[in-house]
Amino acid sequence: MRRESFDDIYLDLSKQPGKCRLAESGLGWKPAGGQTFTLDKADMTSAQWSRAARGHELKIYARQAGVVQLDGFRQDDYNTVQKCFKVWYGHELVQKEHALRGWNWGKGEMGRNELTFNVRNQPAFEIPYTEISNTNLAGKNEVAVEFSLPSNEEDTGTNGHLGGARAKGKKMGGAVDQLTEMRFYIPGTEMRKNKKKSGDED
Amino acid sequence: NLNGTEEKKFKRFESYKRDTQFPSKVKDLIVLVDPKNNSVILPIMGRPVPFHINTLKNATTSTEGGFTYLRINFLSPGQGVGRKDDQAPFEDPTAQFIRSLTFRSHDTNRMEDIKDQVTEMKKAAVRKEQEKKDMED
C-alpha cells in the first residue's frame, strides 16, 4: 500500500468535490482543474470520523492548518482510512457519533480548536474558532456568537490557492444557507445559583 | 425507570435515532423541514443538526442587502414565556441552551417557505399536545 485515493470528497464545505489522496507523507486534495491542497503528516495532531452532510467526514486537527474537514467518504472507506492514519501518521481514527435527539440544551465545551456543543455527552455540532468573527454579551445570560462570512460568493480568501477550497474563516461561504449568528442562554453560575433556588424569576 | 414521576413531568422526545433516517437532501447543506419526524435540520459547519419541534419557539424572516435572513428561535429559560415547564431539562439546572440560530440565503422564496412550514409544524404540535391534554382530563 503506497497510496489510497477517494473521489467526490469535499474540503471544508467546498462547493466542488475533489480527489482526496492519502500517502505516507500526508494528505492531498485536488478538485478538477484546481491546485492541490496538502497537509503534511507532521502537522496532524488527531483525527476523527463521523457522519456529516455529504457522507462520512474525516476531520483532522492540525497545528498549522487548524480544523480540516473532508466530507463525502463512504462508510466502508473507514477501514482503509483508519489503517492509513494508524500506519503512516501514527494517529488513531476516532469514531464519533453525533447527538440526533433534537434537543437545544446541553453543554458548550471549549476545546483546543473548536467549540463543541454536547447533548448528553454526545457532540451535536462543532464550531472551529477560525470561523467565529465576534462574540458579545447580548443580554442577561445571553451570549451571541457571530460567524465570519465572505462579502460575496467569489471571495474564498485563497486567491485560487488551496485548489478551490476556502481559507479558514471563510468556510461557511461554501454553504447554500449560511449560518450568521448563534445565541446561547448561559445560566447564572457563580453567586446566584449557589443555593440552587430552582428558577430565576418565577 | 425509578424516577417515574420525573419521567412523566419531562416529556421525552427524540428527532432521530439513526443518521440513516435523515432525508437525503441534507447533502445540499440547506435548512430542511421534516414534518414526518417533527424536526428541522440545520446545517452547522457542514453537519446536519436536527432540532425537535418541541424545542422551537418560532421562525422569522427579514431581508437585508440582497440576503434573506431566517431566524429560528428556540424555547429557553428566562424568556417569560411561561411554558418552559414543558421543556426544561430538570435533570440539569446548569444546562446551556441554544436560544437562536440565524441563516442567510439568496433564495428568498425558499426561506419564506421554510418559515411557513415551521409555523405550520409548530401549530400542529401545539394542537396535538392540547388534544392529548383534553383527553387526559
Q: Which residue ranges form the domains of chain A, and what is each CATH number?
A: 3-185 (2.30.29.30)
Q: How far apart are CA A20 and CA A9, in angstroms?
A: 6
Spell out the domains of chain B, with CATH numbers in brackets.
4-136 (2.30.29.210)
Q: How far apart are CA A38 and CA A21, in angstroms?
A: 9
Residue A9: all three cell numbers together = 470528497
Question: What is the 8-class DSSP label of residue A99?
Answer: P
State residue B39's pLDDT score.
Answer: 97
| CA distances in angstroms from A46 to A122, A123, A130, A168, listed in the order given | 18, 17, 18, 18
Q: CB–CB of B99 and A181 under 8 A?
A: no
Q: Hey, which residues 112-131 in chain B have their CB within 8 Å of chain A?
A: none
State residue A178's pLDDT score.
Answer: 93
pLDDT at A179 over 60: yes
Q: Hey, which residues 21-80 in chain B have their CB within 8 Å of chain A?
A: 21, 26-31, 39, 42-52, 55, 69-70, 74-78, 80
Q: Residue B44 pairs with which residues in a beta bridge?
A: B47
State residue B84's pLDDT score.
Answer: 46
Which of A102, A141, A179 lies closest to B103 in CB terms?
A: A179
State residue B129's pLDDT score.
Answer: 87
DSSP, residue by residue, chain B: ---HHHHHHS----S-SSGGGS-GGGGG---EEEGGGTEEEEEETTEEEEEEGGGEEEEEEEEETTEEEEEEEE--TTSS-S-GGGT--TT-TT-EEEEEEEEEES-HHHHHHHHHHHHHHHHHHHHHHHHHHHHH-
Please name the amino acid found at residue B57. K
Cβ atoms of A118 and A106 closer than 8 Å: yes
Residue A24: all three cell numbers together = 505516507
Q: How far apart are CA B79 and CA B62, in angstroms?
A: 22
Min distance B93 CA to chain A CA atoms (Å) = 8
pLDDT at A199 over 50: no
Cβ atoms of A4 and A11 closer than 8 Å: no
Share of chain A above pLDDT 70, in %: 87
Q: How far apart are CA B106 and CA B67, in angstroms?
A: 5
Q: CB–CB of A185 and B89 under 8 A?
A: no
How close are the terminal C-alpha atoms of chain B, in Å?
Answer: 25
Q: Hey, which residues 28-87 in chain A have their CB within 8 Å of chain B?
A: 51-55, 57, 69, 71
Give B92's pLDDT tier (boundaries 50, 70, 90): confident
Give B88's pLDDT tier (boundaries 50, 70, 90): low
> Per-residue pLDDT tens for A97-114?
999 999 999 999 999 999
pLDDT at B5 over 50: no
Cβ atoms of B44 and A125 closer than 8 Å: yes
Sheet with strand B47-52: strands edge to edge? B32-34, B39-44, B47-52
> Per-residue pLDDT tens for A20-75?
999 999 999 999 888 899 999 999 999 999 999 999 999 999 999 999 999 999 99
Min distance B109 CA to chain A CA atoms (Å) = 13
Which of A52, A108, A181 lies closest to B46 in CB terms?
A: A52
> Per-residue pLDDT tens for B8-56?
445 679 999 998 999 999 999 999 999 999 999 999 999 999 999 999 9
SS3 A80: helix
pLDDT at B135 over 70: yes
Q: What is the CA radius of gyration of chain B?
A: 16
